[in-house]
């Protein structure tokens, strides 16, 4: 089982959109895939038409009293299951803090481990923040994919994550940036794509263009490739999946 995460400290850069589209591509190839919506905004859960009905107690999952598998829901797509962002992630963060102060290590990792029996790929969609939760994700993920809009501010948040990895002895080689929402009419976007900064040397080759059809995912409540296979942006996501698969093969 491989675990990957979509992360960026910066909000609204395409983490969720990418996570959902990549999950669809993996599942459509017959790879048993689980997507875990770790963001209380619940955008991934919304796009995959999923929500938790009962109120789950994070404490019981963290202590192992209730098996985490109980949170898993199926989606409209074969080979694709989801843990929706239903239970209170504010409590979750608090519980993580308490459990780690008791000397217990990475709970996210511990919770994911049993999924190895059922899934070949686990995809984590992260909230746009640094927290104990995301730190545990940094530790757990085999590879992290960081969508970046080709602007200086977006690049800066990548550098902050890169520096955090170095300072905390996490391997920055696991960070793979990729450009999203690229608008080639904009000079800065073109310049950055042609002359990517050295810190992005480990990036994926595919750049995702800005395209209005992506917004339709929210209307259709579906991954882009589930309703569009012809546009440039849909093909870019397919290509991005091939890049990610290649990255995982090289681990």
Contact 108, 19 (CB under 8 A): no
Structure tokens at 206: 């595919």
Q: Coil, strand or helix: which one is 251? A: coil
The CB density around residue 137, as the number of other CB atoms within 10 Å, is 24
Question: Does 81 help bind ligand ATP (rule: CB under 6 A)?
Answer: no
Question: Does 95 help bind ligand ATP (rule: CB under 6 A)?
Answer: no
Q: What x-and-dash track marks residues 191-210 binding ligand ATP by CB under 6 A?
A: -----------------x-x
CA-nearest of 3, 5, 28 to 79 is 28
* Residue 12 contact, options ligand ATP, Mg ion, none, Cβ 5-8 Å cut-off depending on partner type: ligand ATP
> How many residues bind to ligand ATP according to rule CB under 6 A?
21
Q: What x-and-dash track marks residues 162-191 binding ligand ATP by CB under 6 A?
A: ------------------xx----------
Question: Does 161 help bind ligand ATP (rule: CB under 6 A)?
Answer: no
Question: Does 10 help bind Mg ion (rule: CB under 5 A)?
Answer: no
Minimal distance in Å, beta carbon 30 to ligand ATP?
25
Question: Does 228 help bind ligand ATP (rule: CB under 6 A)?
Answer: no
Exactly one of 2, 15, 106, 141 binds ligand ATP (CB under 6 A); that residue is 15
Question: Does 15 help bind Mg ion (rule: CB under 5 A)?
Answer: yes
Residues from 17 through 46 that contact Mg ion (CB under 5 A): 43
Question: Does 211 help bind ligand ATP (rule: CB under 6 A)?
Answer: yes
Structure tokens at 60: 């019981």
* Residue 50 contact, options ligand ATP, Mg ion, none, Cβ 5-8 Å cut-off depending on partner type: none
The residue behind tokens 């074969």 is 78
Minimal distance in Å, beta carbon 118 to ligand ATP?
26
Question: Does 43 help bind ligand ATP (rule: CB under 6 A)?
Answer: yes
Contact 220, 227 (CB under 8 A): yes
- b/e map of 23-59 (b: 16 or more CB within 10 Å)? bbbbbbeebbbbbbbbbeebbbbbbbebebeeebebe
The β-bridge relationship of strands 175-179 and 80-83 is unpaired
Closer CB to ligand ATP, residue 62 or residue 206?
206
DSSP class per residue in 17-60: HHHHHHHHHHHHTT--EEEEE--TT-HHHHHTT----SPP-HHH
| Contacts of 59 by beta carbon, 8 Å cutoff, 6+ apart | 91, 95
Binding residues for ligand ATP, per CB under 6 A?
11-17, 39, 41, 43, 128, 180-181, 208, 210-211, 214-215, 217-218, 233
């Amino acid at each position: 089982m491989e675990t990957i995460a979509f992360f960026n400290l910066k909000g609204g850069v395409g983490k969720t959109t990418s996570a959902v589209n990549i999950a669809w591509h993996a599942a459509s190839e017959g790879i048993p895939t689980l997507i875990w919506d770790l963001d209380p905004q619940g955008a991934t859960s919304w796009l995959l038409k999923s929500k938790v009905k009962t109120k789950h107690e994070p404490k019981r999952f963290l202590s192992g009293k209730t098996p985490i598998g109980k949170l898993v829901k199926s989606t409209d797509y074969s080979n694709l299951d989801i843990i929706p962002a239903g239970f209170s992630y504010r409590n979750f963060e608090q519980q993580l803090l308490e459990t780690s102060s008791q000397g217990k290590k990475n709970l996210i990792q511990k919770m994911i481990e049993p999924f190895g029996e059922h899934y070949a790929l686990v995809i984590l969609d992260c909230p746009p923040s640094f927290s104990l939760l995301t730190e545990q994700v940094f530790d757990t993920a085999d590879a992290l994919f960081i969508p970046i809009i080709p602007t200086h501010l977006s690049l800066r948040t990548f550098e902050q994550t890169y520096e955090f990895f170095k300072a905390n002895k996490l391997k920055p080689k696991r960070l793979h940036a990729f450009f999203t929402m690229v608008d080639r009419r904009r000079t800065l976007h073109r310049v950055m794509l042609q002359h990517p900064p050295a810190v992005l040397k480990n990036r994926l080759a595919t750049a995702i263009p800005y395209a209005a059809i992506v917004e339709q995912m929210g209307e259709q409540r579906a991954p882009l490739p589930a309703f569009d296979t012809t546009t440039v942006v849909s093909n870019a996501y397919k290509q991005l999946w091939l890049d990610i698969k290649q990255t995982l093969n090289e681990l």
